[in-house]
Amino acid sequence: MSENYECILPEYKCVLGLRDIQLSVPEAVGVGSSAILGCRWALDTGEALYTVKWYHGAQEFFRFVPKELPNTRVFSQTGISVDISRSGAQQVVLRGATRGLSGRYRCEVSADAPFFHTVYKSAYMRVVELPDSQPIVRAQKSWYSIGDMLRANCTSPAADPPANLTWLLNGYEVKGLDIPPPDAYRKQVISDASLEDANRIIFSPWDTGEESVTVDVRIDDIYEGTTRATRYENKTNSEEEKSNRTSSFSQLIIRVQSSHFQKGRLNVTCVARILSVWTNSGILILDEERPQIAPVMGSRDSNSGQTELISSASIQAICLILLYR
């Protein structure tokens, strides 16, 4: 949450009256949920509160005046529904958040006469569209041998903004490859390196000319690849009004090692996050494929001694027959 603080009167007057203003605005809320915006301050001895005003952008939508009855006033603004029963001097509650509520909110506090000291703080709140289910994790097979190449894919349902995906291997974070959706219209760029080469995988989700970050990661001799993650942010109000739900895709590619298995099992988890609002995960349990032990030739069973006795008696009988012929 980014905040701005400003005193409207000259600085030497601002040390009097109002001080220590604190603003509490959530970084993000989901569509349809409520948002609690808090604003606290301190008044010096002898000072009284005049008004508390709330703005969305440049438009005032709520005012608290302790000397008036009723104390609260709501100003009509498209998309804003104030819960009067829960709003007052130090907070305002918005119901049924819509995409149009994204934007900067400002709390402006004024002390009473004679100076009417006024201070304000502002912060940005974003309204997001959350996925309707947890991420799904898939692999090529359910069992792996030491030295096999494991390729796992994670898909998180459509959301705006798209979910950020993180891979965990037996609870430890590893790096995956962010990949574009199948119907992405942006150009995909991938190196000529073979996917079997676990020492060099380069992937760019799309070639857009936007700012990107390249990261090489090696954890416990596991190479997960190099990811170029494109970052972008919608700025205009018209874009904020639109629903731009997008699915998130990520791929994990590692060469399986003996240390990856715990009691013959490998836990692969994909965690999906959207800002501070939503977290969910998909889990895949893979088994270790162990080589079959070949049967030992010439093994004896419990009847072997009895067989030898029978064979010896047969030989003696044959010898006696030959002797008395």
Residue 274 and residue 141 in one domain = yes
Q: Which amino acid is at 204?
A: S
- The pLDDT value recorded for residue 174 is 86
On whether residue 312 sits in a domain, the answer given is: no
Q: Are residues 90 and 184 in the same domain?
A: no
Burial class (CB in 10 A: 0-12, 13-18, 19+), 322: exposed
Q: Where does the pLDDT of residue 238 fall: very low under 50, low under 70, confident under 90, or very high at 90 and above? A: very low
Distance of CA 188 to the CA centre of its chain: 24
In a domain, 299, yes or no: no
Same domain, 44 and 162: no
231 burial (CB, 10 Å; 0-12 / 13-18 / 19+) is exposed
* Confidence tier at 272 by pLDDT (50, 70, 90): very high
What does the alpha-carbon distance between residue 71 and residue 58 come to, in Å, rounded to a whole number?
A: 22
How many CB atoms are located within 10 Å of the residue 314 CB?
10
113 & 167 share domain: no
For residue 150, being part of any structural domain is answered with yes
Do 114 and 172 belong to one domain?
no
- Whether residues 172 and 76 fall in one domain: no
90 lies in a domain?
yes
Is 27's pLDDT higher than 80? yes
Residue 293 is assigned to a structural domain of this protein: no
Q: Which of 88, 86, 58 is nearest to 73 (CA)?
A: 88
Are 93 and 47 contained in the same domain?
yes
Instruction: Say if residue 222 is in the same domain as residue 272.
Output: yes
pLDDT tens-digit series, residues 148-184: 999 999 999 999 999 999 999 988 898 877 766 555 4
Residues whose CB falls within 8 Å of the CB of residue 230, separated by 6 or more in sequence, listed in order: 204, 205, 206, 208, 210, 211, 212
Q: DSSP label at 259?
A: G
What residues does 177 pair with on adjacent strands?
A: 251
Q: Which of 37, 50, 51, 52 is nearest to 104 (CA)?
A: 37
Q: Is 153 in the same domain as 278? A: yes
| Last residue within a domain, chosen from 93, 128, 163 | 128
Q: Are residues 114 and 141 both part of a single domain? A: no
Number of domains into which the chain is organized: 2
Torsion sign across C-alpha atoms 218, 220, 221, 223: negative
Entry pTM: 0.61
Among 163, 154, 105, 95, which residue's Cα sits nearest to residue 129? Answer: 163
d(C-alpha 248, C-alpha 156), whole Å: 5
Q: What is the pLDDT of residue 73?
A: 94
**pLDDT digit string, tens, across residues 103-134:** 999 999 998 887 788 889 999 999 999 999 99
Q: What are phi and psi of 253, to 5 degrees?
A: -125, 115
Whether residues 167 and 276 share a domain: the answer is yes
Domain boundary among 108, 128, 148: 128
Residue 197 belongs to domain spanning: 136-288
What's the whole-number mean pLDDT along residues 21-41? 94
ω into residue 131 within 30 of 0, thus cis? no
Q: CATH number, domain at 30?
A: 2.60.40.10
Which comes out higher in pLDDT, residue 281 or 289? 281
Residues 6+ apart with CB under 8 A from 105: 25, 37, 54, 55, 56, 122, 123, 124, 125
User: Which stretches within the chain are classed as H helix?
Assistant: 11-14, 237-241, 304-323
Judge if 164 and 277 occupy the same domain.
Answer: yes
Is pLDDT of 35 > 80?
yes
Residue type, 137: V
